């Protein structure tokens, strides 16, 4: 645990929408150079939790602090990569990547340098003038990633970033993301519904469970970095994966049983 170097502090956080209690008692710390995966069944609020961390959604209870400051709205130095890519269709790849920098009033020189560097980083050189509709899902998400990274964030929040992408491209992007992270480690919260992805990406895997959901367990993956494709065949990987799987399956089976009783 890296509590001494923790960047994000999530303290007794709960969220309620009207009468619906989504999650409660979330206590978590995320270090400066760490990837924490959050995995759980649909509707467990993992996406909502991510939005709470970024201050896009207000918590009903508890408090989130990033670098000691309480989160009340999207803080500086935090960038989000969205499942739906969130690219502006009327902006070219270049303009989309430059968006965050423009908003932060960076100088023209800074923008030109950073944007070009990050477009290269995600492997989209040559596509600067393309519009989103001309790009595949994978390329759009690379653009979204470049946009987030261009602002040089020290926290990266990934909201099921590869869920809308085909399986082969997804695997390529996962390892690209890992490679990029290795070159500039930061706090990353990686939300996903894929157990394998959660174990692959994370130093720790947070399993959300229950209705309302809460942190059922936090598992240290203990897998070496840098991660390569070999990791899939290591015994440790499978062990962790099975562990998470059984935790979640139990919940899924329970839900199924409840459904049967209703019928």
Cβ at position 97, least distance to other proteins in Å = 12
DSSP structural state of residue 242 = H
Q: Is the preceding peptide bond at 105 cis, omega within 30 degrees of 0?
A: no
Position 69 contacts other proteins (CB under 8 A): no
Of 130 and 231, nearer to other proteins (C-beta) is 130
Q: Which helix (H) or strand (E) holds 115?
A: helix 108-121
Q: Quick check: 73 binds other proteins (CB under 8 A)?
A: yes
| Whole-angstrom distance, CA of residue 91 vs CA of residue 68 | 35
Place of tokens 């290269």: 120
126 binds other proteins (CB under 8 A): no
Per CB under 8 A, contacts with other proteins among 45-64 are 54, 56
Contact 23, 48 (CB under 8 A): yes
Nearer to other proteins, 90 or 117 (CB): 90
CB 27 within 8 A of CB 10: yes
Nearer to other proteins, 103 or 167 (CB): 103
Beta-carbon-side half-sphere exposure of residue 23 (alpha carbons within 13 Å): 30
Q: Taking CB under 8 A as the rule, which mask of x and - marks residues 74-113 in contact with other proteins?
A: x-x--xx-x-x-x-xxxx-------xx-xx----------
Binding site for other proteins (CB under 8 A): 54, 56, 73-74, 76, 79-80, 82, 84, 86, 88-91, 99-100, 102-103, 131-133, 151
């Amino acid at each position: 645990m890296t509590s001494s170097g923790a960047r994000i502090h999530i303290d007794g956080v709960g969220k309620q929408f009207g009468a619906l209690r989504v999650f409660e008692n979330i206590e978590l710390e995320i270090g400066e150079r760490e990837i924490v995966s959050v995995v759980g069944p649909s509707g467990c609020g993992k996406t909502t939790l991510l939005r709470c961390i970024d201050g896009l959604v207000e918590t009903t209870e508890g408090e989130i602090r990033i670098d000691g400051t309480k989160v009340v709205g999207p803080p500086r130095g935090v960038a989000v990569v969205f499942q739906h890519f969130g690219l502006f269709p009327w902006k070219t790849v270049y303009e989309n990547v430059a968006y965050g920098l423009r908003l932060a009033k960076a100088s023209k020189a800074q923008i030109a340098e950073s944007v070009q560097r990050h477009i290269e980083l995600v492997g989209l050189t040559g596509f600067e003038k393309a519009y989103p509709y001309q790009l595949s899902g994978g390329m759009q998400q690379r653009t979204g990633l470049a946009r987030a990274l261009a602002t040089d964030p020290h926290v990266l929040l990934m909201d099921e970033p590869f869920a809308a992408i085909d399986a082969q491209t997804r695997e390529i992007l996962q390892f690209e993301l890992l490679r990029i992270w290795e070159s500039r480690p930061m706090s990353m919260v990686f939300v996903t519904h894929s157990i394998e992805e959660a174990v692959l990406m994370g130093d720790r895997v947070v399993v959300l469970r229950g209705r309302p959901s809460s942190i059922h367990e936090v598992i240290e993956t203990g897998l070496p970095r840098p991660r390569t494709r070999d990791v899939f065949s290591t015994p440790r990987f499978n062990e962790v994966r099975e562990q998470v799987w059984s935790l979640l399956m139990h919940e899924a089976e329970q839900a199924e049983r409840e459904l049967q009783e209703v019928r």
